[in-house]
Amino acid sequence: MYSCRDYNFFTISGNLATQYPQAVGWAMASAIKGDSRIATAWVGEGSSAEGDFHAAMTFAAVYNAPVVMNVVNNQWAISSFSGFAGAERSTFANRAVGYGIAGIRVDGNDALAVYAATRWAANRARANGGPTLIEHFTYRAEGHSTSDDPGAYRSAHEREEWPLGDPIMRLKRHLIALGEWSVEQHTAMDAELVDLVKAATKEAEKNGILGHGLHHPFHTMFEDVYKELPWHLEEQAEQAIRERQIKWPEWKPE
Ligand SMILES: Cc1ncc(C[n+]2csc(CCOP(=O)(O)OP(=O)(O)O)c2C)c(N)n1
């Protein structure tokens, strides 16, 4: 999981929803230090069924943390329909109400609505008005990942029946209708972005790609969590080195 201190990008963890209490804690710390920065985090609607979601909501409300919490409701948590997380009983935005937090539901495929709701919530947090929960109602047209086959658990036609369209196409049509954008500009932007993504992929691949061995010094796997490596992780590292050397006698830790 990546992070970038220069851009205030705090890494998420692989454990779903843990970023929520972390964002609330970060926002509380910012407020306590008298810093003007606010925090924001995203979870999927499936992850909103995790305990961490509720712990975060409680702390955000009690401490009036300057935080904007987003639920991206794309209606699928891998193969679990959003109903498993309670979608058929109430909206996800509605959950905020029980905590005394402002809850907003937006058409997540309307870029301008998302922008407006986010700006409102961010300004509110900055003015010490309290936390906001924004539910972005959307749809996951593709699989959850390249290893997921949605054909195994939902109708093949569902994707075509989704009525709210593609957010990029909608914004494009809207801006062209306003005379603020054109098909030519859009085509040029598409080409530019394809090049940008290709270049970024090349750059990222310098760090190593799956199946081509380790590119980072082995020991870094155990670092950067604790200031000083605790004994049990040191033991794990030594054990991992021994096991790798049994499997690949040529291998040496960097
Ligand atoms: C605590 C935990 N349980 C299970 C997983 C495995 N897992 C990864 S993504 C995912 C589904 C998440 O669905 P949702 O929260 O709706 O987000 P989406 O991926 O649809 O945006 C699951 C179960 C995990 N990473 N962490």
Map out the domains of the chain as residue ranges: 5-164, 166-206, 218-247
Q: Please report the pLDDT score of residue 3 as a whole number.
A: 85
Q: Please report the pLDDT score of residue 210 as a whole number.
A: 74
Q: Is 140 a catalytic residue?
A: yes
Which of these is catalytic: 119, 126, 153, 154?
A: 153
Structure tokens that stand for 93 in this block: 């935005």
Considering the domain delimited by 5-164, tell me its CATH architecture: 3-Layer(aba) Sandwich (3.40)
Confidence of residue 231 (pLDDT cuts 50, 70, 90): very high
87-122 pLDDT tens trace: 999 999 999 999 999 999 999 999 999 999 999 999
Q: What are the angstrom distances between the C-alpha of 249 and each of 52, 245, 246?
A: 43, 5, 6
Question: To test the ligand 1 pocket, which listed residue (1, 16, 146) has its Cβ within 8 A of the most ligand atoms?
Answer: 16
State the distance from the centre of ligand 1 to the C-alpha of 46, rounded, in angstroms.
7
**CA–CA distance, 170 with 177 (Å, rounded to integer):** 11
Q: Please report the pLDDT score of residue 253 as a whole number.
A: 79
Would the pLDDT of 212 be above 80?
no
3-28 pLDDT tens trace: 888 999 988 788 999 999 999 999 99
Q: Is 242 a catalytic residue?
A: no
Confidence of residue 214 (pLDDT cuts 50, 70, 90): low
Taking alpha carbons only, the member of 110, 113, 163, 106 closest to residue 135 is: 106
Question: To test the ligand 1 pocket, which listed residue (19, 42, 43, 47) has its Cβ within 8 A of the most ligand atoms?
Answer: 47
Would the pLDDT of 208 be above 80?
no
Q: Please report the pLDDT score of residue 192 as a whole number.
A: 98
User: What is the overall mean pLDDT for the chain?
Assistant: 94
- Residue 176, Cβ neighbours under 10 Å: how many? 14
Q: Is 153 a catalytic residue?
A: yes
Q: Please report the pLDDT score of residue 251 as a whole number.
A: 81
- Residue 100, Cβ neighbours under 10 Å: how many? 14
- Residue 49, Cβ neighbours under 10 Å: how many? 18
120-148 pLDDT tens trace: 999 999 999 999 999 999 999 999 999 99
